[in-house]
Amino acid sequence: MQRDGAPVETANGPNADATRAPDQGLIPDANPWTNDAALPEGVGEEIPTLFNDAAASSEKRVALLLPLSGQNAALGRAMRHAAELAMFDIAADDFILMPVDTEGTYQGGQNAARKAIDAGAKMILGPLFSESVSGASEIAKAANVPVVSFSNNRRVAENGVWVNGLIPEDQIARAVGYATSQGKYRFAALLPQNDYGRQISASLDSIVSRVGGTMGRVAFYQPGSENLQQTIKSFARYNSGPDSGFDALILPTTGGDLRQVSAMLAYYDVDSSVVQFIGTFGWNDPALFSEPALKGGIYAAPNPGNWESFANRFERTFGSQPPRIASIAYDSAALAALLSRDGKEISEAALTNSTGFVGVDGVFRLTQDGRSERGYAIMKVAPGGAKEVAPAPESFDQVF
């Protein structure tokens, strides 16, 4: 039957704000969340006014580069607080954390890194945004100072500059592997026409072939465009018969765009009960769980076990719930503090320990090419909330 005027709205509304895919990462021991002591606000040390002072040779100074002013200042402050919790839990007396404002820009990243290094920083944590990471990296590499950023854009990863966020391509790889274990081998992808979508597209052939699947057609759409309906109708091969040519569909968009696209796919008979929909951690949004068109869809997520305890402790200490990305600041600061203890020096060999570390969101390790690797659980979308259908591995022997 010919259908015109496909619906573009759902019960939750297509224009709701998208949930941004968060970045994560270290719990120093099996159960650090039993300490209820409060950390006073603003514990993180500021950049000393006297650079390269005598104390710099005896103290372990680590810079924390974040957007502490401008439109992302609240996010930057929350991540600073999370890093301060790690200091409270892990750091020795000679560990100094130095917050520096990047203003969320390339030039701000350069300036912040220069200030940090002039102040004696032996390591840089952050920045958050890839533009600021690129700016900070130029200065840090010249000074041979390692950078563990909070970005999840693997394009800024390089030797000595790590991307410690949740990399979307790795999440897709985990979910694709799970899909093949359930008998789904023919993959397609529907991607936004932007830098994010193009970056995902560049990895799909290798991701799918690595687990024995075949990558079929890949289509791009412009979110909110007038031809979105026709793009999805053509992609679905509506009126061409019951077989769409794929049994798993990669949909890495989030929020309102995902609601709109999934509703149109259902309208043109791409049924999520037949085709396995695959997303990213950006799907971890309660507003999406009741969407009928997404029921049964899967996405990779970090081990959820410790997040609630961490979030509750953060709220007791600072009076508000942390943003989901805050755990990466805690874990990265904990990693720096751990590697600085007992007279140890922060080194590339220590940072890239192949056995990895255990974080708020599960196992992770840093690789020599600047990336992070993580163990993910598989979650399935259901009206009552996402359900875990495959646990996160506890060691890298089980993952990679």
pLDDT digits (tens, 9 = 90+) for 6-57: 333 323 333 333 223 333 323 233 233 333 333 333 333 334 333 344 445 5
Dihedral angle at the C-alpha atoms of 103, 23, 357, 337, nearest 10 degrees? 20
Q: What is the pLDDT of residue 242?
A: 62
- Is 119 within 8 Å of 52 (Cβ atoms)? yes
| Integer angstrom CA distances of residue 59 from 92, 240, 321 | 10, 69, 32
Residue type, 74: A
pLDDT of residue 398: 60
What is the SS3 assignment for 164? Answer: coil
- What is the reported pLDDT for 200? 96
- Helix (H) / strand (E) containing 330: helix 326-340
Q: Give the model's pLDDT for residue 240.
A: 59
Rounded to 5 degrees, what are φ and ψ at 193? -85, 80
Q: What is the C-alpha to C-alpha distance for residues 35 and 19, in angstroms, rounded to an integer?
A: 31
Residues of the chain with pLDDT under 70: 1-58, 238-243, 342, 398-400
pLDDT at residue 8, as a whole number: 34
Q: What is the pLDDT of residues 174-209, one digit of tens each?
A: 999 999 999 999 999 999 999 999 999 999 999 999
